[in-house]
Amino acid sequence: MTNVNYVYDGLRLRADFDSPWKEIIEVYFPQAMHFFFPETSALIDWERPYEFLDKEFQC
């Protein structure tokens, strides 16, 4: 579950746990790939631009 609803002083608040991680991965994508998948990272041409498609499956 990525979002949790809280009620505080009569207001409904949502905790967003996904956005900070998505932002970190976008900023440090090459470093994250190298850390988690070093063999795959070595095959990628990092000079070519890339695009994040994180909203493609949302309705």
Give the Cα separation of 12 and 3 in Å (integer).
12
For 1-59, where are the E strands, in sequence order?
3-8, 11-16
pTM of this prediction exceeds 0.75: no
Give the Cα separation of 17 and 23 in Å (integer).
11
User: In the block, which residue shows the tokens 């998948």?
Assistant: 37
Average pLDDT score, the chain: 81
pLDDT at 37: 97
* Average pLDDT of the segment spanning 34-44: 97
* Average pLDDT of the segment spanning 24-41: 95
Pick 43 or 11 by higher pLDDT.
43
* Average pLDDT of the segment spanning 34-45: 96
Residues in the chain: 59
Residue 9 has pLDDT above 70, yes or no: no
